[in-house]
């Protein structure tokens, strides 16, 4: 009689079936934990608890999910189970009687020295190699063409780097990378690790410069080697890190990519370039302050604008003066300043003195415009108004004559067109000074408060009055649109997109002629920017049409005349 039997009290559903072949063939060879996992899994197969998971089993058996998986992988080698999925862990038990898998025989004596040395090294950092882990190491050696002592050296290196955080998987991964590179002998591993140790000093110096507190890992060695392979001198890499002062290895990678793009591989080349880059960054921030805009990352503005302005030959002081002028003329952003700089470049106005002379004239115009405002109210320092000042001066009118015309236009609803009308009449009459006016102007037949007016001026005034109605309409429509534009431009991204879309029209025109193959990509980019711009407007509660003057008469845009020169229907009415 067998020494193990069921008592008569054992019920039909209070036990788990285990095939005899498993007990006879596999149980004696397996380790205790693997048997424990197999039996508990077998119990679950015959249990009705469908919510039980690998985590639940790990809690019951007081282990980890990783070790549960290792045990099932062990049994899978024997063909008694099949792992259907690892996440979430799903295992199907197979009939033991049909199993054909064979146990992997481990020659413990062959790896005795290896296991003994590995255990010693792991214990130095407070780790203990379990039986299952030991089996994994031996299986790894059997399955891979690497010398045990070479593998032990890799493990020692990983232990030194990771300390108590070292894991079996980390050691295996490191060893697999060596094997994939053809490094399998003790001498080869020693040489490869010697290279790591050689770069450790440099990496430690970089970590100090970048204020990185973590330990150096394998990815850091790989990154450093890749920089050397690209042709960087060690001191050039150090110079880049010193320039950053604080950062990360990823940040250093980006900076070195920039240096590689500029072909700055030596320390002196890198230092010179980085100093120049700093100067450009500093100037970009100063220009931004002059323009009244906020810049957080200067790199984009340097590449798009500032560096090109320097290539044109403009000096730092000139660029700052131009930025201030753009702010005064309501064009306070980089895109508008770029148009002004390119305009000066096309005119050959590049040198410091030439720019200063140009701005001297322009600032004089601004001062004159400010004086005109004392008589006529607020006037925008727009391109149109400044162009009129230039025209009046080309008519040989002095500032005094222009201000006299402004004084006489003070009561007009549209003072600028009125001033222009008066000055054009004076030009035809040959009046070039206030003395000419005093000599030639005579009182009208019917004295009035405006007793300085001549018949010619009366004619001018009469014509201006006829246009007053339309001027008021246009000013009103423009002022409403200006308010919406100002509101929208408070969003920096909207302002940037508007400028980019304006440039995009030129790019599309060029592409259509010179590079039609790029037209599709440019149109897609344009559509994406337009969609983003429209989305920003919607968020601010602004419609696109509100950014344009909404004239009362759509035919003539409140001018009274059609493009053909004929009077509009509204003018006749």
420 part of a folded domain? no
More confident of the two residues 198 and 17: 17
Other C-beta atoms lying within 10 Å of the C-beta of residue 261: 8
> Is residue 161 in a domain?
yes
Domain final residue pick, 204, 235, 265: 265
Of 30-39, 181-190, 257-266, 564-573, least confident by mean pLDDT is 564-573
Cβ atoms 440, 429 nearer than 8 A: yes
Q: Give me the pLDDT at residue 334, please.
A: 92
In a domain, 140, yes or no: yes
214 and 172 housed in the same domain: no
CA torsion, points 345, 349, 352, 358, in degrees to nearest 10? -120
> What is the CB neighbour count within 10 angstroms for residue 526?
16
How far is Cα 237 from Cα 259, in angstroms, rounded to an integer?
10
Residue 89 lies in a domain: yes
Output the domain CATH number for residue 46.
1.10.10
Q: Tell me whether residue 70 is in a domain.
A: yes
Same domain, 38 and 91: yes
Quick check: 404 and 434 in contact, CB under 8 A? yes
Q: Are residues 135 and 176 in the same domain?
A: yes
HSE, side-chain direction, 13 A CA sphere, residue 571:
17
Name residue 86's beta-bridge partners. 89
Identify the band that residue 444 occupies on the pLDDT scale cut at 50, 70 and 90: very low
Domain that includes residue 130, residue range:
112-184
pLDDT at 555 over 60: yes
What residues pair up with 83 in beta bridges, in sequence order? 91
3 within domain boundaries = no
For the segment 304-336, what is each residue's pLDDT rounded down to a tens digit? 899 899 888 899 999 999 998 888 877 788 998
- Number of separate domains in the chain: 3
Which among 213, 233, 265 is the end of a domain? 265
Which residue from 357, 350, 355 is spatially nearest to 312, judged by alpha carbons? 350
Is the same domain home to 147 and 213? no
Is 69 inside any structural domain? yes
Q: Are residues 208 and 161 in the same domain?
A: no
Same domain, 140 and 84: no
Q: Is residue 296 part of a domain?
A: no
135-149, 232-246, 408-422: least confidently modelled range? 408-422
| Rounded CA separation 381/369 (Å) | 7
Helix (H) or strand (E) holding 529: helix 519-539
Cβ atoms of 22 and 96 closer than 8 Å: yes
Looking at the structure, tell me whether residues 202 and 259 fall in a common domain. yes
Mean pLDDT for the chain overall:
82
Model confidence band, residue 338 (pLDDT cutoffs 50, 70, 90)? very high
Q: What burial letters (b/e) apply to 338-354, b meaning 16+ CB within 10 Å?
A: bebbeebeeeebbeeee
For the stretch 158-172, pLDDT in tens is 888 788 888 888 899
The DSSP annotation for 543-556 comes to -GGGGS---S-TTT
Distance CA 335, CA 526 (A): 17
Helix (H) or strand (E) holding 93: strand 89-93
Is residue 196 located within the same domain as residue 177?
A: no
Please determine, for residue 445, whether its predicted confidence score (pLDDT) is greater than 70. Answer: no
- Which residue is associated with the tokens 């003072």? 415
pLDDT at site 50 = 63
Q: Tell whether 128 and 87 lie within a shared domain.
A: no
Residue where a domain stops, chosen among 184, 207, 236: 184
Regarding whether 148 and 125 lie in a shared domain, the answer is: yes
Q: Are residues 180 and 197 in the same domain?
A: no
Cβ density class 409-432: b for 16+ within 10 Å, e for less: beebebbbbbbbbbbebbeeeebe
């Amino acid at each position: 009689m067998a020494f193990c039997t069921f008592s008569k009290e054992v019920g039909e559903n209070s036990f788990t079936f285990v095939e005899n072949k498993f007990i006879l063939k596999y149980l004696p060879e397996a380790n205790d934990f693997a048997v424990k996992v197999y039996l508990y899994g077998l119990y679950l197969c015959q249990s009705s608890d469908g919510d039980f998971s690998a985590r639940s089993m790990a809690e019951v058996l007081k282990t980890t999910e990783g070790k549960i998986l290792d045990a099932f992988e062990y049994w899978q080698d024997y063909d008694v189970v099949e792992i259907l999925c690892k996440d979430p862990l799903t295992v199907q038990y197979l009939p033991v009687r049909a199993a054909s898998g064979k146990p992997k025989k481990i020659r413990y004596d062959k790896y005795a020295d290896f296991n003994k040395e590995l255990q010693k090294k792991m214990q130095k950092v407070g780790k203990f190699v379990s039986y299952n882990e030991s089996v994994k190491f031996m299986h790894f050696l059997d399955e891979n063409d690497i010398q045990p002592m070479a593998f032990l050296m890799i493990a020692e290196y990983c232990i030194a780097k990771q300390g108590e955080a070292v894991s079996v998987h980390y050691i295996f991964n490191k060893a697999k990378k060596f094997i994939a590179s053809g490094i399998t002998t003790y001498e080869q591993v020693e040489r490869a690790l010697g290279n790591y140790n050689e770069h450790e000093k440099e990496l430690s110096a970089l970590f100090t410069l970048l204020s990185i507190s973590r330990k150096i890992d394998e990815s850091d060695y790989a990154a450093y080697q890749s920089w050397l392979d690209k042709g960087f001198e060690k001191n050039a890499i150090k110079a880049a890190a010193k320039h950053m002062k604080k950062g990360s290895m990823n940040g250093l990678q980006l900076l070195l990519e920039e240096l590689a793009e500029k072909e700055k591989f030596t320390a002196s080349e890198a230092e010179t370039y980085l100093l120049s880059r700093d100067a450009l960054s500093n100037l970009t921030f100063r220009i931004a302050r002059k323009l009244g805009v906020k810049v957080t990352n200067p790199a984009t503005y340097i590449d798009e604008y500032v560096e090109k302005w320097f290539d044109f030959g403009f000096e730092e002081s000139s660029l700052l003066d131009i930025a201030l002028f753009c702010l005064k003329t309501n064009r306070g952003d980089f895109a508008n300043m770029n148009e002004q700089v390119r305009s000066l470049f096309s005119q050959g106005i590049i040198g410091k003195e030439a720019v200063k002379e140009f701005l001297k004239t322009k600032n004089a115009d601004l001062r004159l415009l400010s004086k005109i405002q004392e008589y006529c109210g607020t006037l925008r320092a727009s391109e149109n108004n400044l162009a009129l000042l230039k025209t009046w001066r080309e008519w040989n009118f002095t500032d005094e004559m222009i201000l006299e015309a402004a004084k006489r236009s003070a009561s007009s609803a549209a003072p600028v067109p009125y001033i222009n009308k008066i000055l054009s009449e004076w030009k035809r009459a040959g009046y070039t000074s206030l003395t000419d006016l005093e000599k030639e102007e005579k009182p009208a037949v019917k004295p009035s408060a405006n007793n300085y007016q001549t018949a010619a001026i009366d004619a001018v005034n009469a014509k201006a009055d006829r246009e007053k109605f339309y001027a008021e309409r246009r000013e009103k429509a423009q002022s409403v649109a200006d308010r919406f534009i100002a509101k929208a431009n408070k969003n920096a991204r909207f302002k940037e997109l508007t400028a980019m879309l304006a440039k995009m029209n030129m790019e599309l025109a060029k592409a259509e002629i010179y590079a039609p193959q790029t037209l599709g990509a440019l149109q897609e980019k344009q559509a994406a920017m337009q969609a983003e711009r429209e989305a920003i407007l919607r968020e601010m509660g602004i419609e696109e049409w509100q950014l344009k003057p909404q004239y009362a008469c759509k035919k003539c845009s409140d001018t009274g005349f059609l493009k053909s020169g004929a009077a509009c229907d509204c003018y006749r009415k």
